[in-house]
Amino acid sequence: MFDSTCKFLAESFSSDFASWLIGEPIPLTELSPSELSLEPIRADALILLASEEYILHVEFQTEPDPNMPYRMADYRLRVYRRFPQKQMKQVVIYLTPSQSYYVYQTAFEIPGTRHEFDVIRLWEQPTQLFLESTGLLPLAVLTNSPDQAQTLRQVAVRIDAVPEMRVQSNVAASTGILAGLTLDRDVINQVLRKEIMQQSVIYQEWKEEFLQEGRQEEGQSLILRQLTRRIGGVTPQLRSQIQSLSLDQIESLGEALLDFTESADLVNWLQEHQAS
């Protein structure tokens, strides 16, 4: 959820992020990882934005990642292969405080090779900078603030001043999600207007995602009850495999189990559908 929120912000307010990270309000457009010829290492966290001269590569992290230096070096080479003439800025942004060695790593090193990248630890950043750009407002509560609840109230005032309702609702929803990393939900609900957040595109997407997860859990529970009636108890191993199925696979299993008479039928079905 936090990765997708940050990705949404960077892509929706690319000029704000360019001003912050590059130092110029350069218009940037999304660059698909597929344009780099190879599959991304971790597509859900990958943000690539491009202009005529720059490639901006941003990774947001809630936890330290020992593989981050390698990922930075790998993507730098991929981008150079595809766009050798473009400058590239790479930034890892850590969202939550940590004393781990990994959040201080700024280079990938092996014998004969060294690649450097930038690291930003939000909890060390001055809050005021993030209160001055609409696209950065949701990050403000994670910065070096002595009173995060008060910072959230400052953010809410600025959100209310955004003239375009769609932008206002998207920024409010993003703020509510990211504030959850550091503040209680009750505090967030008291400060941010829920009716504004509910109008946002990302709120609707998350709502649908949660509903999908709910349907999947409900389907798993129903399948397990039906299997118990038809073939007796389900072993923990088989239960684990069933819980790993997608919603479509659960629906298919619901139809297939009508013909099951013993556990072997379930085992065979799971093998055929490559459940693990």
Average pLDDT value for the chain: 85
Q: Is the pLDDT of residue 264 over 50?
A: yes
In this model, does residue 213 exceed pLDDT 70?
A: no
pTM: 0.71
- The packing angle between helices 201-231 and 236-243, to 10°, is 150
Contacts of 46 (CB under 8 A, 6+ apart): 33, 40, 57, 59, 75
Q: Per-residue confidence at 4, pLDDT binned at 50, 70, 90? A: confident
Residue 234 above 50 pLDDT?
A: yes
Of the candidates 68, 57, 55, the residue with the CA atom closest to the CA atom of residue 109 = 68
Q: What is the mean pLDDT of residues 261-276?
A: 79
Minimum mean pLDDT range among 18-22, 36-40, 248-252: 36-40
- What would the two tokens of residue 24 be? 């110029």
**243-247 mean pLDDT:** 77
Q: Tell me the per-residue pLDDT of 124-175, one tens digit each, with 9 for 90 and over.
A: 999 999 999 999 999 999 999 999 999 999 999 999 999 998 899 899 989 9
Q: Does residue 246 surpass a pLDDT of 80?
A: no
Backbone angles phi, psi at 57, to 5 degrees: -115, 115
The span from the CA of 49 to the CA of 35, in Å, is 12
What H or E segment, with its residue span, contains residue 29?
Answer: strand 29-30
Residue % of the chain over a pLDDT of 70: 85
Flag whether pLDDT at 211 surpasses 70.
Answer: no
The angle at the Cα of 40, spanning 37 to 45, to the nearest 5 degrees, equals: 145
Q: How far, in Å, CA of 163 to CA of 194, rounded? A: 18
32 to 46, 47, 75, 192, 251: CA distances (angstroms)? 10, 9, 12, 33, 33
Give the Cα separation of 172 and 175 in Å (integer): 5
Q: Is 151 helix (H, G, I), strand (E, B) or coil?
A: helix
**pLDDT single digits (tens) 107-121:** 999 999 999 999 999
Task: Pull the structure tokens for residue 263.
Answer: 């556990």
Contact 91, 57 (CB under 8 A): yes
**pLDDT for 275 beyond 50:** no
DSSP 98: -
Q: Which residue has the tokens 């967030």?
A: 188
Q: Is the pLDDT of residue 40 over 70?
A: no
Task: Give, as one character, the DSSP assignment of residue 121.
Answer: E
Please tell me which residue, 56 or 214, carries the higher pLDDT value: 56
